[in-house]
Amino acid sequence: MLYQKERNHGCRVSDAWSYQGLKTCILENEIIRVMVLVDKGADIYQFVHKPTDTDFLWKSPWGVRNPSKFIPTSGDSTSTWIDVYEGGWQTVMPAGGFPSKVNGADLGLHAEANLLPWDNAIIKDTEKEVSAKFWVRTNRTPFYFEKTLSIKANSPYLQIDESIVNEGEEEAHCSWGEHIALGPPFLSDACIIDVPGGNIENHHIKFDDNNTLMPGNKSAWPFTKDVNGNQINLSKVRPKSAKAYDQSYIVDMPQGWYAITNQKLNVGWAVSYSNELFKYLWYWQSLGGGFGYPWYGRCYNIGLEPFTSYSNEGLAGAIKNGTALKLKPNEKVTTSLKAITYSGINRVKNVNSDGTIEAV
């Protein structure tokens, strides 16, 4: 066992924690606290803005389940994922969306990295900066993936540097995304979403009885149409009483960032990323309208998820429509992003790559 020198000030990091039997790593500074479930996909389960005690990430009704101690009651490849979906933030790789079959491999919902236990190491531990590295090799596909999370002193953001490598001896496709779900008490109808522009494409078919948006409608951000042809402003988060369950995609964004501000609580969350790699921002809207398994009308949350590919129809669908990544043998793709907290801003004009926020 490695015993770290403990600190109660400045930047701190420790992986000597366990939550629900899962190895857990915590990084924090004076402004933010980040909790990572190492043994469950290296998921980010908490992201807290300390000055306002705001955890931006959504928590599912069943919370954290340890996959090693959980026996699914069916072999369905969608429910296998959902039964241990705690909410929060998953690295989705190599297949985003619903199950599909590629090169003889059955790939379940959002397969497969976020259901695996990851390795990790603390690589920097000082008062001024801390960093923890996490890495995994997938089972059904030939990929190696790693990400390094870093926080600097008095900084309002988490820096993530990550990469994927095809370790196979043939070309391999993948869909890679950041599955970020936001929920109450941060999320409410007092929230406004700002993006740098782009176009909205609603999911092309009706997939749920409570789809409220017109399938396949294409329009300029922020307006789309509902199923009756009425105009809907997607920059304004609807209340739970909307009873909506929808999926849209924001495409052709001139820059890679989004921000969501709760104008009543005076606090916000932003993500800055490379839109050369993550060309599609998935917008999942679970606004009290998910009925039946698994939501049963209980859930109020949204997902704002940078993805390399679309739509929500699995890797096979992304290959078919030409949006899947294709890596040659030993090819490596790297990127960086920032998750940023802020307060005292009503609307966001720009999120800079250095983590600073420009107000309208």
Q: Which residues contact 47 (CB under 8 A, 6 or more apart)?
A: 32, 33, 34, 35, 55, 56, 57, 89, 158, 269, 339, 341
pLDDT band at 51 (very low <50, low <70, confident <90, very high): very high
Does residue 3 form part of some domain?
no
The half-sphere exposure of 242 on its side-chain side, counting CA atoms within 13 A, is: 22
The CATH number of the domain where 116 resides is what? 2.70.98.10
**Residue 185: exposure state from Cβ atoms within 10 A (0-12, 13-18, ≥19):** exposed
Overall number of domains in the chain: 1
Percentage of residues of the chain with pLDDT beyond 70? 99
Q: Which residues contact 87 (CB under 8 A, 6 or more apart)?
A: 45, 57, 58, 59, 60, 181, 183, 301
- pLDDT mean over 238-248: 98
Does residue 242 form part of some domain?
yes
Q: What pLDDT was estimated at residue 221?
A: 98
Q: What pLDDT was estimated at residue 1?
A: 58
Whether residue 2 is predicted with pLDDT greater than 80 in this model: the reply is no
Instruction: Show the domain range for 145.
Output: 12-359
Of 69-73, 127-131, 327-331, 350-354, the least confident: 69-73
Does residue 259 form part of some domain?
yes
- Tell me whether the omega of the peptide bond preceding residue 112 falls within 30 degrees of 0, making it cis: yes
Residue 94 near residue 103, CB atoms below 8 Å: no
Taking CB atoms within 8 Å and a gap of at least 24, the contacts of 84-87 are 84/40, 84/115, 85/60, 86/37, 86/40, 86/43, 86/45, 86/59, 86/60, 86/62, 87/45, 87/57, 87/58, 87/59, 87/60, 87/181, 87/183, 87/301
- pLDDT mean over 141-151: 98
Does residue 6 form part of some domain?
no
- pLDDT mean over 8-18: 96
Cα angle 305, 117, 296 (rounded to 5 degrees) comes to 50
- pLDDT mean over 141-167: 98
Task: Give pLDDT tens digits for 39-49.
Answer: 999 999 999 99
Phi and psi of 69, rounded to 5°?
A: -115, 10
Residue 339 near residue 46, CB atoms below 8 Å: no
Residue 336 near residue 275, CB atoms below 8 Å: no
Whether residue 319 is predicted with pLDDT greater than 90 in this model: the reply is yes
Task: Give pLDDT tens digits for 158-209.
Answer: 999 999 999 999 999 999 999 999 999 999 999 999 999 999 999 999 999 9
Unique residue bearing structure tokens 């399938």: 215
Does residue 235 form part of some domain?
yes
Pairwise CA distance, residues 233 & 228, whole Å: 14
Task: Give pLDDT tens digits for 89-115.
Answer: 999 999 999 999 999 999 999 999 999
Pairwise CA distance, residues 178 & 336, whole Å: 12
Token digits for 49?
Answer: 């803005």
Does residue 170 form part of some domain?
yes
Does residue 7 form part of some domain?
no
Whether residue 326 is predicted with pLDDT greater than 70 in this model: the reply is yes
Whether residue 74 is predicted with pLDDT greater than 90 in this model: the reply is no
pLDDT band at 123 (very low <50, low <70, confident <90, very high): very high
Residue 64 near residue 278, CB atoms below 8 Å: no
